Amino acid sequence: MEQQYEITLHEVELSNWWSRGRQDAILKILSSYPRHIKILDIGCSSGALLHELSLRGFTSLAGIDISARAVEAAKRRGFQDVKEVKAEATGFPDNSFDVVIASDILEHVKDDESALREWLRILKPGGDLILFVPAFPFLWSGHDVVLHHQRRYLRKPLAAILTKSGFEVKKNFYWDFLLFFPKAIGGILNRLFKSKKKPEVQHLVSGPINWFLTRLLLLENYLLFKIGIRYPVGVSIGIIAKKK
């Protein structure tokens, strides 16, 4: 991620619509898990998710990030069990965690299968990986370029990679359904007219738009995780996978 955007994202992480929507999704997934389990947040950024997990009573939390700036920000939030390491070489002992969370991380790693094998290694037997990645290669845009993404994923091939790496896929779903359509249309128009606009992070909005998009994602999360509606497409793919 480019430095100027990383600094801004750290500043708005607790209030930004995308961050809040994703945090809410993960919190809903974890709502029935015991509060004493050991959780690792890979790519913990400034510690916003760790903060929300601690507010919900989770007591054993750790984080890693490739950015020294992110680790410092997370420690300023009060999380000392955070360190600067690569996602594919965490340095933790085998069978260390009950849950590993990797939200928008795998797409940054050049060798994604190596990262998945590492996350499998540090999970306890029966432990869960909560994974979110950007969906559909045709949605590739300047947003992906600025964030230094290596790829976007398709749902079934991603599940196959997880199975090959030793995971059992428990749930496999699309996330952020309604915004898929404007993003797809915008991407098509940009390619047709070869937009020369400088690439930028699409998540950075403020004011009423941020409020509206936050409520939209919270509603989608409720329908997805509480009502059980499955969306046919989405901007992201979510997977819950168990270590066999």
Q: What is the mean pLDDT of residues 106-129?
A: 97
Q: What is the mean pLDDT of the chain?
A: 91
pLDDT score for 55: 97
Spatial CA neighbour of 218 closest among 19, 63, 57:
19
pLDDT score for 10: 67
Residue 158's domain spans which residues? Answer: 3-243
Count of beta carbons in the 10 Å neighbourhood of residue 236: 26
The structural domain count of the chain equals 1
Q: What is the mean pLDDT of residues 113-140?
A: 97
CATH number for position 168: 3.40.50.150
pLDDT single digits (tens) 186-198 = 877 776 766 555 5
Q: Name beta bridge partners: 134.
A: 236
pLDDT score for 14: 81
Count of beta carbons in the 10 Å neighbourhood of residue 4: 10
Query: Could you tell me if 12 and 204 are in contact, meaning their C-beta atoms sit under 8 angstroms apart?
Result: yes
Tell me, yes or no, if the pTM score tops 0.75: yes
* Confidence bin at 15 (pLDDT 50/70/90): confident
Pairing of strands 82-84, 123-134: unpaired
